[in-house]
Chains A and B, each alone.
Chain A
Amino acid sequence: EVVLTQSPGTVSLSPGERATLSCRASQGVPNNYLAWYQQKPGQAPRLLIFGASSRATGIPDRISGGGSGTDFTLTISRLEPEDFAVYYCQQYGRSPYTFGQGTKLEIK
């Protein structure tokens, strides 16, 4: 099983600042099939990034994904109020398709 470890667990930032979230895999993710999701309280997750670096439909270009192999990042270049939420990475290259434990992005 590919174990995904996200860091930090919680990050406190202000609107307008840059956020960098990390996701490390215990082994290489086949085809870099790594996705990022945003979840707000009481809502279903929403796909942001697939294939490590491709933005999903409707996702603004201030949100970007990078990395390959075992180390991946999600970057939000200029935080907007609606960006404060919990973020999950998921690898879907090898079953079971595991999630990371999540990073909470909170307003400072």
Chain B
Amino acid sequence: EVQLVQSGAEVKEPGQSLKISCQGSGYSFTTYWIGWARQMPGKGLEWMGIIYPGNSDTRYNPSFEGQVTISADRSVSTAYLQWSSLKASDTAMYYCARRGGGISGSLGDDHWGQGTLVTVSS
């Protein structure tokens, strides 16, 4: 069974750093893209970026490029989303999702993590 398990909720202060994780299981982690999406409270989904763990090819939404870093560690089948300096406006639910169809990514985001709630407040 394919599963994506995300790390737990975080409460941070503005200016702090943070790295959240998404561990994949039940499939070959290196042969599927994994993406990240943000959902601010009461709002819609925003696509942030995506990584192919097999070769670390990474693509960002220009709206998020430079604000976050997406990475992956093949040895532990885990993708990461990190911030070096959080802002209050980063408060949101963050989802990871596997892009189906292997390297072609042709089958949509077929499996999703449960989400990680990040709260940034002083």
Tell me the chain A residues, 19-56 only, with Cβ under 8 Å from chain B: 31, 33, 35, 37, 39, 44-47, 49-51, 54, 56
Q: What class of interface size applies to chain B in its complex with A?
A: 20 to 34
Q: Is the CB of B95 within 8 A of A51?
A: no
A10-18, A72-80, A94-102 - the one binding chain B: A94-102
B26 within 8 A of A: no
**Which residue of B59, B107, B109, B110 is within 8 Å of A90 (Cβ)?**
B109
Tell me the chain B residues, 88-102 only, with Cβ under 8 Å from chain A: 95, 97, 99-100
Q: How many A-B residue pairs lie within 8 Å, measured between CB atoms?
A: 71
Residues of B near any A CB (own CB < 8 A) = 35, 37, 44-47, 50, 59-63, 95, 97, 99-100, 105-110, 112-115
Beyond A33-B106, A51-B106, A90-B45, 13 additional pairs, beta carbon < 8 A? A33-B108, A39-B45, A45-B112, A47-B110, A50-B100, A51-B108, A90-B108, A92-B99, A95-B61, A96-B59, A96-B60, A96-B61, A96-B63
